[in-house]
């Protein structure tokens, strides 16, 4: 991973994208559906506790950005311009489309720093056709499709279940996520931009065992076999590609579980009592994340090393042991 490179004569631009952890949508009600107050678009803060804390009922997007890790990082880096392209519920397709659309409109990316908060691979977009209308909806979490969506963004349950049962494969989704990130990183770097990505403590992004990696490699080989030009279509080996991603080190941040049980700093909206039940970072947690990213911008996370797992029986119960 190359060190960040900026020209002093040009404006420094920070562009971030991700899901609700990036947008800060947990702070407000009905993100994406502002209300008009004094001829300006504003959002109502999510709870009475937040209204007391910030001494106001409504905030605009500029104020919301000051609460998020991206806005705080922009200040820490002294960025001249800052753009937050994140949105609650975004999966990898939505994150990449937002960044790609931005890049298409900007001629010079040389003084840009793109930071991608990697979403879960369990989030997928589906196209729903209703008569003459075609709309793109998101399945936020494959594992919780039976839960109703309070914001009305989801397609009907039967549509989701049909997609999951007939068109979704967890391993393929993981492969697509990594390769989409790899392709985006190559594209942006080829245009002179700095690119970094990170995994929140809420998102698991790792390859768990040797057999799984072999399965990924087999799937990729199967895809390549359908091409008339096999050599041209053959891409990098999965692990080589995975370890080339500019994923920066953020493992020192506590997970929400650690935070709730042991961390007195109360870095989530739930633990500080402002949005009970919500595990997104609060303003202090967002600052901690921003500072962690700043300190590790040139520190790549440890390369993935294969682990082998064996199952053995101990006192009548199956126990999984790791062999390095």
pLDDT at 238: 75
Please give the Cα distance from 156 to 158 (Å, whole number): 6
SS (H, E, C) 112-126: EEEEEECCCCCCEEE
pLDDT at 146: 43
Of 27 and 176, which is predicted with more confidence? Answer: 27
Mean pLDDT of 97-118: 93
Q: Is the pLDDT of residue 260 over 50?
A: no
pLDDT at 193: 93
3-state helix, strand and coil shares in percent for the chain, rounded to the nearest 5: 40, 20, 40
Q: Is the pLDDT of residue 103 over 90?
A: yes
- Exposed / middle / buried, residue 316 (Cβ in 10 Å: 0-12, 13-18, 19+): exposed
Are 234 and 181 within 8 A, CB to CB? no
pLDDT at 141: 54
Reduce the DSSP state of residue 45 to 3 states and report it. Answer: strand
Res. 264 pLDDT band, cuts 50 70 90: very low
Minimal CA–CA distance to 263: which of 239, 244, 240, 282? 282
pLDDT at 151: 41
Average pLDDT, rounded, for the chain: 75
For 142-161, write each residue's pLDDT tens digit. 544 444 444 444 445 666 67
Of 15 and 41, which is predicted with more confidence? Answer: 15
Res. 315 pLDDT band, cuts 50 70 90: low
Please give the Cα distance from 127 to 148 (Å, whole number): 19
Of 303 and 216, which is predicted with more confidence? Answer: 216
Q: Which of 104-118, 180-194, 211-225, 235-249 is predicted least confidently?
A: 211-225
Minimal CA–CA distance to 11: which of 100, 77, 102? 77
In the chain, what are the domains? 13-24+68-208+237-323 (3.40.50)
0.85 exceeded by pTM: no
List strand residue ranges (DSSP E) for 63-193, in order. Answer: 81-84, 112-117, 124-130, 133-139
For 41-83, write each residue's pLDDT tens digit. 889 898 888 999 999 999 999 999 999 999 999 999 999 999 9
pLDDT at 143: 46
Residue 312: DSSP 8-state: E
Which positions ≥6 away from 231 have C-beta within 8 Å? none
Please give the Cα distance from 198 to 58 (Å, whole number): 31
Q: What residues pair up with 323 in beta bridges, in sequence order?
A: 308
CA distances from 199 to 115, 117, 178 (A): 11, 6, 12
For 204-228, write each residue's pLDDT tens digit. 555 555 566 677 777 767 766 666 6
Of 54 and 300, which is predicted with more confidence? Answer: 54
Mean pLDDT of 96-102: 93
């Amino acid at each position: 991973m190359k060190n960040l490179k900026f020209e002093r004569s040009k404006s420094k631009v920070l562009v971030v994208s991700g899901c609700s952890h990036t947008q800060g949508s947990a702070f407000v009600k009905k993100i994406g559906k502002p209300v008009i107050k004094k001829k300006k678009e504003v959002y109502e803060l999510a709870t009475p506790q937040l209204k007391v804390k910030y001494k106001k009922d409504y905030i605009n997007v500029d104020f919301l950005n000051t609460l998020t890790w991206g806005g705080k990082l922009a200040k820490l880096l002294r960025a001249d311009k800052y753009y937050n392209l994140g949105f609650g519920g975004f999966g990898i397709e939505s994150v990449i489309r937002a960044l790609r659309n931005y890049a298409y409109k900007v001629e010079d990316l040389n003084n840009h720093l793109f930071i991608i908060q990697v979403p879960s691979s369990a989030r997928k977009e589906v196209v729903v056709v209703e008569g003459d209308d075609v709309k793109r909806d998101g399945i936020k979490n494959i594992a919780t499709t039976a839960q109703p969506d309070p914001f009305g963004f989801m397609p009907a349950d039967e549509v989701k279940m049909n997609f999951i049962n007939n068109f979704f494969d967890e391993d393929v989704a993981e492969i697509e996520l990594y390769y989409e990130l790899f392709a985006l990183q190559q594209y942006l770097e080829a245009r002179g931009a700095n690119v970094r990505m990170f995994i929140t403590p809420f998102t698991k992004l790792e390859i768990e065992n040797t057999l799984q990696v072999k399965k990924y490699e087999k799937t990729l080989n199967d895809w390549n076999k359908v091409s008339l030009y096999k050599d041209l279509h053959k891409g990098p080996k999965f692990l080589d590609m995975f370890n080339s991603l500019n994923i920066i080190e953020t493992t020192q941040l506590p997970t929400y579980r650690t935070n709730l049980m042991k961390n007195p700093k109360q870095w989530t909206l739930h633990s500080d009592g402002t949005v009970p039940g919500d595990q997104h970072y609060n303003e202090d947690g967002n600052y901690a994340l921003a500072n962690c990213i700043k300190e590790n911008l040139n520190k790549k996370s440890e390369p993935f090393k294969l682990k082998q797992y064996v199952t053995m029986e101990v006192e009548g119960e199956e126990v999984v042991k790791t062999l390095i």
